[in-house]
Chains A and B, each alone.
Chain A
């Protein structure tokens, strides 16, 4: 299950049949995504395993499994910045418990961005997913 924002996004992507338009959309999402305050770009928020630089900051409204996820992020690569915006659409607003129930790879596969999903790809989408899921799992266990 994904949230409504993501369902809308998936619908939009259904109408984009070639990769160029899908990339253009992802890049535009990245450009429109709120920039991350420089103060947050610290080792603790940096996601290792990405070829470009990536920072993710998660926060929770409330506590425990029902706490609601919010996050910010940034990358110096524009496609990755766009992927962060896609992840935001996928996860933001879900509870910590719900985050754990999302089949992220299947959901992202619906966008036709499959070539970013293989484990070997160095753009770090998997590393970003792992960071979000890990932080949500910690919160859900509180």
Chain B
């Protein structure tokens, strides 16, 4: 039995007031709040177990290193990756995708080669590929979604041609909540000898992930959306792809030996982790993922599906509200606009009612352009949100309608 109130009780921030109202936090797509276990782990790490990792032989360095390195195995289990060495720590999805762009894609692509993207990508899965377009003449091929937000996986498969080297696609749109059949895409890509990157920024938060079943080559996650600290993240890299990668950032930890005219590198995955990492952030992410696995990602998915159905019915019944993305199996992310009011108007009034939403282009300008909107409001739900909070949102939107219509 999923007890949402017991889960809420573990997030101290959820019991605070905002603008004199109980907080209704619906900006989880941007970043999720942190449970007490994560907050405690951060405090514990800094107050009792902190030192730099990988380089000292003293007690605290060994302890911190053990704690930090144990997270690799946790991420491996969370993603069902074959080996913990397939996991590279990063500061988040953005760094992870940039790593792949510089380490894997740049050395093996040339002018005219293609990268296939969906129109639903957020900027972290667009701009690194623009670098290759700008600097190397790589061609970006876009696959659109339908007006209701649905995405045709076959269209993406058909877009992969003889010059395609990589397909990069989100598992779940951060704007419309659309789920993509990434498994079909990755399997088709593998058959054609094309590498696949599945952006798990949103997808990994809302349900179980199995990178072996998906058949992807790269799968980045970001810790702060997974109830962990900001500045934490990781990427699964298929061992064959990892063997093809050259180092990206240079510095300490990623080297074996450094001479005046020579340098040799550490073994992967550390070869791709230069400098002092986000030690405590990573430890905190490990605690968050462990905690999520104890609750069960499938249980979280069930709870969120119920919230999504409830919210979809409520929001779509407001005939003065335009909801972007209405697919039946969508994730708990709702973008909407209201005739006559700007997204910032809506978020300002919602904020007065204690409801936190995001307003703007959601770091997904190509999708916004495709949908024909400049800005939307986005309510994104998490494991701790309730139907009552959907009602609070709807009631605040009714006030917006009253004020702006």
Measured CB to CB, the residues of A under 8 A from B are 19-20, 23-24, 27, 51-52, 75-80, 122-123
**A-facing residues in B353-405 (Cβ within 8 Å):** 359-360, 374-375, 399, 403-404
Interface membership of B340, Cβ < 8 A: yes
Interface membership of B110, Cβ < 8 A: no
Q: Please determine whether B341 and A78 come into contact, CB atoms closer than 8 angstroms.
A: yes
Complex CA–CA separation, A53 to B344 (angstroms): 11
Known contacts A19-B352, A23-B349, A23-B352: A52-B403 contact under CB 8 Å: no
Complex CA–CA separation, A77 to B343 (angstroms): 8
Known contacts A24-B403, A27-B403, A27-B404: A78-B352 contact under CB 8 Å: no
Nearest 8 CB-CB pairs, A to B? A77-B342, A77-B344, A78-B345, A52-B344, A77-B345, A79-B345, A52-B342, A51-B344
Q: Please determine whether B399 and A78 come into contact, CB atoms closer than 8 angstroms.
A: no
Further pairs besides A19-B19, A79-B348: 15, Cβ < 8 Å: A23-B403, A27-B404, A51-B359, A51-B360, A52-B342, A52-B375, A75-B342, A76-B342, A77-B344, A78-B340, A78-B342, A78-B404, A79-B345, A79-B349, A122-B344
Binary contact track B284-296/A, C-beta < 8 Å → 1, others 0: 0000000000000
With a CB–CB cut-off of 8 A, which chain A residues contact B348?
A: 79, 123
Closest to B352 in A: A19
B2 to chain A, nearest CB (A): 36
Complex CA–CA separation, A23 to B19 (angstroms): 14
Q: Please determine whether A20 and B344 come into contact, CB atoms closer than 8 angstroms.
A: no
With a CB–CB cut-off of 8 A, which chain A residues contact B360?
A: 51
With a CB–CB cut-off of 8 A, which chain B residues contact A123?
A: 344, 348
> Which of B342, B352, B359, B374: most chain A Cβ within 10 A?
B342
Closest to A50 in B: B344
Complex CA–CA separation, A30 to B19 (angstroms): 24
Interface size class of B (residues with CB under 8 A): 10 to 19
B357 to chain A, nearest CB (A): 14
A94 to chain B, nearest CB (A): 28
Q: Please determine whether B352 and A80 come into contact, CB atoms closer than 8 angstroms.
A: no
With a CB–CB cut-off of 8 A, which chain A residues contact B345?
A: 77-80
Known contacts A27-B404, A78-B404: A20-B342 contact under CB 8 Å: no
Closest to A31 in B: B404
B365 to chain A, nearest CB (A): 14
Complex CA–CA separation, A23 to B344 (angstroms): 14
Closest to B349 in A: A23
Closest to B402 in A: A24
With a CB–CB cut-off of 8 A, which chain B residues contact A79?
A: 342, 344-345, 348-349
Residue among A19, A24, A27, A80 making CB contact with B344, cutoff 8 Å: A80
Complex CA–CA separation, A24 to B352 (angstroms): 13
B225 to chain A, nearest CB (A): 22
Q: List 26 A-B contacts (CB under 8 A).
A: A19-B19, A20-B352, A20-B403, A23-B352, A24-B403, A27-B403, A27-B404, A51-B344, A52-B344, A52-B375, A75-B342, A76-B342, A76-B374, A77-B341, A77-B342, A77-B344, A77-B345, A78-B342, A78-B404, A79-B342, A79-B345, A79-B348, A79-B349, A122-B344, A123-B344, A123-B348
Closest to A78 in B: B345
B20 to chain A, nearest CB (A): 9
**A-facing residues in B318-363 (Cβ within 8 Å):** 340-342, 344-345, 348-349, 352, 359-360
B337 to chain A, nearest CB (A): 12
With a CB–CB cut-off of 8 A, which chain B residues contact A78?
A: 340-342, 345, 404
A63 to chain B, nearest CB (A): 37
Complex CA–CA separation, A3 to B92 (angstroms): 52
With a CB–CB cut-off of 8 A, which chain A residues contact B342?
A: 52, 75-80
B354 to chain A, nearest CB (A): 12
Complex CA–CA separation, A20 to B344 (angstroms): 16
Complex CA–CA separation, A122 to B404 (angstroms): 20
Complex CA–CA separation, A123 to B349 (angstroms): 13
Closest to A123 in B: B344
Complex CA–CA separation, A76 to B344 (angstroms): 10
A58 to chain B, nearest CB (A): 23
Complex CA–CA separation, A79 to B351 (angstroms): 13
> Which of A19, A51, A77, A123: most chain B Cβ within 10 A?
A77
